Amino acid sequence: MKTTGAALITTLLERQGIETIAGIPGGASLPLYDALRASNIRHVLARHEQGAGFIAQGMARATGRPAVCFGTSGPGATNLLTAIADAKLDSVPLIAVTGQVPRAMIGTDAFQEIDTYGLTIPITKHNYLVRSAGELLEVIPDAFRVAMSGRPGPVAIDVPKDVQNATIDVDTLPDRGRADPPPRCAPDDIARAAALINAAQRPMLFIGAGIIAADASLALRRLAETASIPVVATLLGLGAMPSEHPLFLGMVGMHAARFTNLLLEECDLLIALGVRFDDRATGKVEAFCPRAKIVHVDIDASELGKIKQPFLGIEADVADVLRTLQPHVVTNRRGEWRQHVARLRAAHPLSTPGTDDPLQPYGAIRHTAALVDDDALITSDVGQHQMWVAQAFPFARPRQWLTSGGLGTMGFGLPAAIGAALAAPERTVICFTGDGSLLMNLQELATAAEEEVNVKVILLNNGHLGLVRQQQQLFYGGRYHASRFHAEPDFAAIARGFGIDAYDLETTAAPAAMLAAALHTRGPCLVNVPIAAEANVYPMVPPGAANRDMIDLRPAPSVTTGETAAVAASREE
Amino acid sequence: MQSTAYESPPARSAGAVLRLLVRNHPGVMSHVCGLFARRGFNVEGIVCLPVSDGTRSVILLVVNEEERLEQLIRQLRKLEDVLDVHRAPEARAAFTAVAGWLH
């Protein structure tokens, strides 16, 4: 069959099961868009390539399957970079296809020419510059294989315009790209892990996004329940264990509940599953779990010993490990340890003031949670609101919570929510955001309106870059600079201008009722929730400090420096 | 990737020698060198030549990373274009030989 490079790309993407692609066309990708028009793939026109990248990420994070975004050469490619880098740090299977200037013009500083291959090397699992239409037969399936295999991640494919236009005779299409079989765990390692767990007095399970990627939530829960082991999660591990589960102790690290971090100090065995010991989780590494032997399971061998040397490191699929381990783990009620956990939980709980008031951070989050069921998908942007949601939203299932963890990209939330809604159109998608973050990809409100996605933007509006303001207050002697927005846009009017319903809780005497009305009306909307500029996220571990040294709502007994203590004591709460 | 490259004076006794078998295409060197740069690994010397039919290249590296050598090797193994990585102390002679051309 005679075809073109561009048509070959869309055919191969269809064969990989791709139904929706987000992107923006341009000069160097016009042949691709001509082929896309003739394909069965739906194209979602974003308003900025970063939006397209995060829409694809939303699809990928919500489903666990690779998703695709398109950009043109030059600025199209550079605009995609943030979304690609974000996918790398959070292990999201994203496939970015970019147009490139014709091969004969590469290296001439042609119009909209940039070295996309070179730019994407450090932020992808792998990347390709396709040099002939024939290469596409290998590259496209291989890109999917790479994105899905082992630890998932992004792949970039740069396709010069003449390669898109080239005609090629294809006899047979290649097999679909699929994930390589994961490394199997060694029976010896399982026996050693089981022995450590069975012998431990105060074990703790420390789980991350790897549990969700491996679809290992149920296996995790079984193991935890069998051996009565408390579970803590990283930011990206939230949802892998239901928040309400009695063994679940919440998020670990910088904004964890004090009891959670204190218990990690005491544990004698840390079973770390699909985590990478990120600094926001560990705090000062030397002081993280100082009494514990560490069993670290990860599918990426380079994570074992990268930050913390494990007593036992296992390179394997964590679902496989949990299944194999289960029969070797002795049932144990662990009364003493669990009583201690309960005591510390009661003595140092997470404090969530204002849950009754929808105009306070925890109140807005809890009211929203009460208005949706567990099918709802929750995205966030990055900042204070993200931490409040991570602390207080009752996540019930894996892939319910989509947030930018590693890169911490403001602007993630809205386009990721659009992507999640495209992947699960029957569900409600909540995007918790802040006024700083929302402005970073505000243009995607137009995409949300056009696609009529069921996305509810809950804007916790404090007129600040709140987490910057908080750090200036706590760690820079209250010397605020560049963290306040002196011009405060009318977000409700802006949303209406984009053709989206808007609700402003400032304008009503019954904010809870207005919030309910917003959430119960299908289609995209924005809810402006004015919150106090002074509201801070507590507790907080100062950057670089040990997790035990948390600044708390109450007068802090163990902050790191005198200056910090003075500032903390003079807070306005 | 079609030429011999050599940077900085030959590692005397210090440093481990690694032998990488890689796919030979433009960009492989960027992948390998970029990894060293962004992870802060110190590379003392590089020798690279195509092998067999030219679809593969061998890269010899001298690296001053005793403590992080295992981490460095694991990171290299994650590169799709790197087909094999192992320690190759016997290949140190290659650097001695090349050094003659540089001094």
DSSP assignments along B45-90, one per residue: EEEEEEETTTTEEEEEEEE--TTTHHHHHHHHHTSTTEEEEEE-GG
Using alpha carbons, select from B36, B80, B91 the residue that is nearest to residue B58: B91
* Of A27-41, A207-221, B52-66, minimum mean pLDDT range: B52-66
Cis geometry, peptide bond prior to residue A353 (ω within 30 degrees of 0):
no
Residue A301 with chain B: CB contacts under 8 Å = 74, 77
Q: How far is A312 from chain B (nearest CA, A)?
A: 16
Residue A554 vs residues A550, A557, A571, B17, B40: alpha-carbon distances, Å: 11, 9, 10, 56, 41
Please, what is the average pLDDT of chain A?
Answer: 95
Name chain A contacts of B80, Cβ cutoff 8 Å.
125-126, 146
Q: Which runs of consecutive H residues, i.e. helices, occur in A250-315?
A: 258-266, 279-282
Query: Rounded CA gap, A471 and A380, in Å?
Result: 20
> Chain A residues with CB inside 8 Å of B78's CB?
125, 300, 302
What are the residues whose beta carbons fall under 8 Å from the beta carbon of A561, sequence distance 6 or more?
A: none
Q: What are the tokens at A268?
A: 């004698």
Compute the C-alpha angle A104/A80/A152, nearest 5°: 105
Q: A306 and B71 in contact by Cβ < 8 A?
A: yes
Query: Which CATH superfamily groups domain A2-169?
Result: Thiamin diphosphate (ThDP)-binding fold, Pyr/PP domains (3.40.50.970)
pTM: 0.94
CB proximity list for A101: less than 8 A, separation 6 or greater:
A28, A73, A110, A111, A112, A113, A160, A161
Q: What is the pLDDT of residue A561?
A: 42
Which of B22, B30, B35, B74 best tests the A interface by mutation, with the highest count of A CBs <10 A?
B74
Cα separation, B21 vs B82, whole angstroms: 6
Q: Are A547 and A256 in contact (CB under 8 A)?
A: yes
Phi-psi region at A544: left, alpha or beta (left = phi > 0; alpha = psi -120 to 50):
left
- ipTM value of the model? 0.89
| Chain B residues 53-82 with CB within 8 Å of chain A | 70-71, 74-75, 77-81
* Cα gap B47→B31, rounded to integer Å: 15
Q: Which amino acid is at A8?
A: L
Instruction: Kindly report, residue by residue over A305-343, the tens digit of the pLDDT.
Output: 999 999 999 999 999 999 999 999 999 999 999 999 999
The region of weakest confidence among A84-88, A229-233, B13-17, B92-96 is B13-17
Q: Cα torsion for A190, A195, A200, A206, to the nearest 10°?
A: 0
pLDDT at A293: 98
Give Cα separations from A399 to A58, A149, A314 (angstroms): 10, 19, 25
**Preferred mutation among A100, A121, A298, A300 to probe B, highest tally of B CBs within 10 A:** A121
What average pLDDT does this structure show over A216-237? Answer: 98
Cα–Cα distance for residue pair A245/A211, rounded to 1 Å: 16
CA nearest to A232, candidates A209, A215, A249, A213:
A249
pLDDT at B11: 43
**Is A126 close to B80, i.e. CB distance below 8 A?**
yes
Note the pLDDT of residue B13.
Answer: 53
Residues 6+ apart with CB under 8 A from A509: none
**What pLDDT does residue A552 have?**
86
Q: Rounded to whole angstroms, how far apart are CA atoms A548 and A558? A: 8
Distance in Å, alpha carbon of B25 to nearest chain A alpha carbon: 10
Enclosing H/E stretch for B30: helix B28-39
Q: How many residues does chain B have?
A: 103
Measured CA to CA, the distance from residue A415 to residue A379 in angstroms comes to 9
Q: Which CATH architecture has domain B16-102?
A: 2-Layer Sandwich (3.30)
Q: How high is the pLDDT of residue A216?
A: 98
Topology of domain A361-530 in CATH is Rossmann fold (3.40.50)
Q: How buried is residue B53: exposed, middle or buried, by Cβ count under 10 Å (0-12/13-18/19+)?
A: exposed
pLDDT tens digits, residue range A470-501?
999 999 999 999 999 999 999 999 999 999 99
Q: Domain segments of chain B: what residues?
A: 16-102
Assess whether pLDDT exceeds 70 at residue A560.
Answer: no
A132 chain-B contacts, CB cut-off 8 A: none
> What count of residues does chain A have?
573
pLDDT tens-digit map of A520-534: 999 999 999 999 999
SS3 A115: coil
Instruction: Give B96 to chain A, closest Cα distance, Å.
Output: 31
Place B5 in a pLDDT band, splitting at 50, 70 and 90: very low
* pLDDT given for residue B66 in this prediction: 86
Q: What is the pLDDT of residues B34-52, one digit of tens each?
A: 999 999 998 999 999 999 8
The mean per-residue pLDDT over the stretch A198-202 comes to 98
B16: part of which helix (H) or strand (E)?
A: strand B16-23
Selected residue of B38, B65, B77, B80 to mutate for chain A interface (largest A Cβ count, 10 A): B80
Give the residue from A75, A85, A68 showing the smallest Cα distance to A23.
A68
pLDDT single digits (tens) B40-89: 998 999 999 999 899 999 999 999 988 899 999 999 999 999 999 999 99
Cite the residue boundaries of each domain of chain A with CATH code 3.40.50.970: 2-169, 361-530
What class has domain A187-347?
alpha beta
